[in-house]
Amino acid sequence: MTLQDLIRRFRVLSNDKRQPYFWADADVVDWLNDAEQQAAVRGRLLREDANPAVCRIALAAGQAVYPLHAAVFEIISLRLQPSNGDRPRELRLVSREWLDVEVPGWRERAEPACFAIQDDTSLRVVGTFDAGDVLVLECYRTPLEPMALPPAGSPPPVVRSTPEIHKTHHEHLLLWALHKAFSIPDTEAFDPARSDRAEAGFTTYFGPMPDSDLRRITREDVQHHNVLILP
């Protein structure tokens, strides 16, 4: 389904078929982009392991922290590829708290890197590496570019006019757009009950949105153990 198809279907479902519209095309496009972002995170729909701009980070001498591509929200696997041609080795994603307990002095660790810390927008390598080594990651990501309607003009510039997620999901993006449309207070179309139903349908299909704590726990591959405390 194209963006124009989605907008047309939104207007049918919301009974907003006559001009002047309750909701401008620009607002509907924003809601549909929000919907695709939400869907990609909730359902982990976009798995990436091929795009170098997303999946490869060149390491520099003396630099431990590197920005992640803005679309990356969860790393599945992380490897360090040596510049000398040796075999890549896995880096384990852990938390600072785990390192404080299990690897005292990790900030000054002089052994070859075998751990990494994923923060919200960056990645810290723990241990040593050579300049020119490359981090190779597999991840879940959000869409790389927002959808947009082609502006008037000839020839039109290249814009993304269809969702990145699979076509079977496209119609369900409309639920989020309907939720947002009917949730705007002090408007003639304000309908909180209908907004809530649309949001519930979106969540039923794509799953709940993980909060920041759950996302943090998910990205830290830490083993948990039950501890028996004797009297």
* pLDDT tens digits, 34-65: 999 999 999 999 999 999 999 999 999 999 99
Say whether both 41 and 51 belong to one domain: no
226 occurs within a structural domain: no
In a domain, 91, yes or no: yes
Rg from Cα positions in the chain: 23
Query: Do 154 and 201 sit in the same domain of this protein?
Result: yes
Structural domain ending residue among the three candidates 80, 108, 141: 141
Residues 152, 39 share a domain: yes
Q: Give a yes or no: residue 230 inside a domain.
A: no
Let me know whether 125 and 197 are in one domain. Answer: no
DSSP code at position 167 = G
Chain segment 181-193, per-residue pLDDT in tens: 999 998 889 999 9
User: What one-letter code names the amino acid at 193?
Assistant: A
Average pLDDT taken over every residue of the chain: 91
Please give the pLDDT value at position 231: 37
Domain boundary pick from 141, 168, 197: 141
Question: Is residue 221, in this structure, part of any structural domain at all?
Answer: no
Give the CA diameter of the chain.
80
Distance, in Å, from the CA atom of 210 to the CA atom of 42, rounded to the nearest integer, reads 7
Asked whether residue 148 is assigned to any structural domain, the reply reads: yes
Q: Which of residues 106, 141, 176 is at a domain's end?
A: 141
Residues 159, 169 within the same domain? yes
| Rounded Cα gap, residues 199 and 179, in angstroms | 5
Q: Which residues constitute the domain of residue 90?
A: 47-141
Mean pLDDT of 143-161: 81
Query: What is the pLDDT, as a whole number, of residue 219?
Result: 56
135, 169: one domain: no
Domain for residue 179, yes or no?
A: yes
Q: pTM of the full predicted structure?
A: 0.88
pLDDT the model gives residue 226: 41
Q: Is residue 178 part of a domain?
A: yes
Give me the pLDDT at residue 204, please.
98
User: Domain tally for the chain?
Assistant: 2
Helix, strand, coil shares of the chain, percent, nearest 5, are 35, 20, 45
> What pLDDT does residue 227 have?
37
